[in-house]
Amino acid sequence: MAVIRPFSALRPPAERAAQVAAVPYDVVNTEEARALASGNPFSFLHVSRPEIDLPAGTNIHDDRVYSKAHSNFQELTNECPLVMEETPSLYLYRLIMSDHEQIGVAACCAVDEYDNDIIRKHERTRRDKEDDRTRHILALRAQTGPVFLTYRAQDKIDKLIAEALDKNPPLYDFVANDDIRHTIWRVPAYDDLVEAFREVPYLYIADGHHRAASASRARAELKEQAFAFIGTEEYNFFLCVIFPDSQLQILPYNRIVRDLNGLTKEEFLSRVSRQFTIMENAGPTPPERGHWHMYLDGKWYGLAISPATSHPEGAVASLDVSILQERLLDPILGIKDVRTDKRIDFVGGSRGPQELVRLVDEGRASVAFSLYPTRVEDLLRVSDAGEIMPPKSTWFEPKLRDGLLIHCL
């Protein structure tokens, strides 16, 4: 069963919410974060990416970065000010992006359920990223950005959410600078929702594997430091927003490659044709699963698995990202490990295929691949099988904002 726990959020006043709310720390680099926070002392990026307030070139893992995160957090708490709810609650978080809408339950989930795989994963985490967010949690004694979870939708939960929306006025309702609308409601009468989630067998991490892993590591360290352990301490739970799978939107996570691995254009196309049927004059977006579109030398090509070759089976092997890797990126372009190979890069989200065209036309890449989005059911299937998706398989949009609901430990 899924355990969700109400919590007393530390949060900004309504009139400051739009200023405080910040994109997740891991979707921007230091320069982008600095630009977004420029002129806004209340931006939560001063807390989540505190190196923006240190000298240029400061290593993001320097001790000064975590010290600055702590001091910036204290300053924001005092000056904004951030206020702690007097009593625990659940919250509802709605995101609207163009004509897409999704509503999730903001709560705390049990670290034990993460550790015991009741909260299921599909991504392998990196130790250096875990180290960073673990140190960040410990420096602040708070979780400041939620883990994005999903579950197989249930009518009972949908009805309870609809009822709560009718009964409670919104705490926040604003449109961010990327035109995404964020609305949050407080749900002080939460017992029915808590009980309904007990009937959900598994939760799944959609986005935020490193945040969840870091919450587990922070719990272990705080538990070791404690004089006693009861099990109800706040550090035994981590901040999350839980959306039904029926509402999620996954956008393509496309690829660019710097060079053709020493091949001429003609040699490259010849080798690709042994693995795929190539169609000329294709558009930029694949029409369905099992198709890839490739931009090369100012022209789009459509790729489909050749009838002479079999379609792979298995939860991971059958994914479009896996097929592209196994049949083209590795054997033809020589990219063995997309995590470490500097010749490949990834273009996700709403930037779309026009960004691929720009990067190739400007000479920053030699070839680009436009993929059909991974499906939510693929993510659930891989997670249920206990397997790991290839890196950069999913790009969820719209994204939650940091700093609106903070879980103090």
pLDDT in tens, 309-332: 777 888 999 999 999 999 999 999
Contacts by 380-383, CB closer than 8 A, 24 or more apart:
380/150, 380/152, 380/204, 380/245, 381/315, 382/122, 382/315, 382/316, 382/319, 383/120, 383/121, 383/122, 383/202, 383/204, 383/205
> All domains of the chain, ordered by start, with CATH?
4-249+397-408 (no CATH), 253-372 (3.30.1760)
**Tens digit of pLDDT for each residue in 66-117?**
999 999 999 999 999 999 999 999 999 999 999 999 999 999 999 999 999 9
* Global confidence as pTM: 0.92
- Mean of the per-residue pLDDT values of the chain: 95
pLDDT at 308 over 70: no
pLDDT tens for each residue of 15-72: 999 999 999 999 899 999 999 999 999 999 999 999 999 999 999 999 999 999 999 9
Q: How far apart are CA 122 and CA 220, in angstroms?
A: 22
* 3 state DSSP class of 309: coil
Predicted local confidence at residue 307, as pLDDT: 73
Better pLDDT: 292 or 340: 292
